[in-house]
Amino acid sequence: MKILILEDNLDSLTALTKIVAEISDEMEVYPAKTIEEAREIVNLQKNLSLFLLDINLNAKKVEDVGGMDFAKEVRARYEYEFVPIVFITSILSMELTSYREIQCYQYITKPFEKEKVLEIIRKIMTHANHEEKESILIKKNGINYKISCDDIIFIQAVTRGMRIYLKNEAVDVKYLTLKQILPKLSEKNFFQCHRMFIINRKYIEYVDTVNRVIKMLGCNELIEIGITYKVKAKEWINE
């Protein structure tokens, strides 16, 4: 798991980092003291699994809710629309707002107890480990749908959205771009071979790098490999 911790108090930040690191050697912890540092981490790191965010990032201003503002930025990114957010706070009056507006998973009250922090993170880990298959969540007509990545043959950009070609059907998703969906897909199995297409490696029937086309299983039409993607596509396919 990759965990981002945003906490302006250095002692608290250090303590939380040590607590999280104790849980497992496979934990990757990214500490940040400011929103700017946190933004940089989000922009550089892919597939963050959990956000631990202090709500008040300015001890001199009791009314400061910078952590919640940053949480809204996180939620606005498609890839983190449903990733767990845990608030660290002494402002219990913010509880209802945080659950309603930001859909936070839980909150930790200050001064926090080590066992409480461990309990919350272990629950999140347990849930993550019980995910049977890699999947993506999409919104269609205001409803969330979970699609198994194993069922995706390829994805095509269309006017005002994209079309996901599955084994048994095609699903149109409005106002979502290939650039937004790509970070949610496994780099091992999915690749953008053209500005209009993302393909799933497991459904490739054959690749013609000379003519720059890919034949996908169950599909009659060939998918073009864009000129700017040709070299990278060849390397990815031959891995």
**pTM, to two decimals:** 0.57
For the chain, what are the domain ranges? 2-129, 135-237
Q: What is the DSSP string of 100-167?
A: HHH--SEEEESSPPHHHHHHHHHHHHHHHHT--S-EEEEEETTEEEEEEGGGEEEEEEETTEEEEEES
From 1.20.1250.20, 1.20.120.1200, 3.40.50.1000, 3.40.50.2300, which CATH number describes the 2-129 domain?
A: 3.40.50.2300
Q: What is the DSSP string of 177-198?
A: -HHHHGGGS-TTTEEEEETTEE
**Angstrom distance (rounded) from CA 147 to CA 55:** 33
Torsion, Cα of 54, 52, 108, 65 (10° steps): 30
Say whether 135-237 and 2-129 share the same fold.
Answer: no
Q: pLDDT-based confidence at 24, cuts 50/70/90?
A: confident
CB 29 within 8 A of CB 20: yes
Q: Is the pLDDT of residue 99 over 70?
A: no
Burial of 5 (0-12, 13-18, 19+ CB in 10 A): buried
Q: What is the pLDDT of residues 110-123, one digit of tens each?
A: 888 888 889 888 88
Provide mean pLDDT across the span 32-47.
92
Asked if the 135-237 domain carries CATH number 3.40.50.300, the reply is no
| pLDDT of 39 | 94
Label each residue of 12-66 as H, E or C. HHHHHHHHHHHHCCCCEEEEECCHHHHHHHHHHCCCCCEEEEECCCCCCCCCCCH
Q: Would strands 152-158 and 161-166 be described as parallel, antiparallel, or unpaired?
A: antiparallel
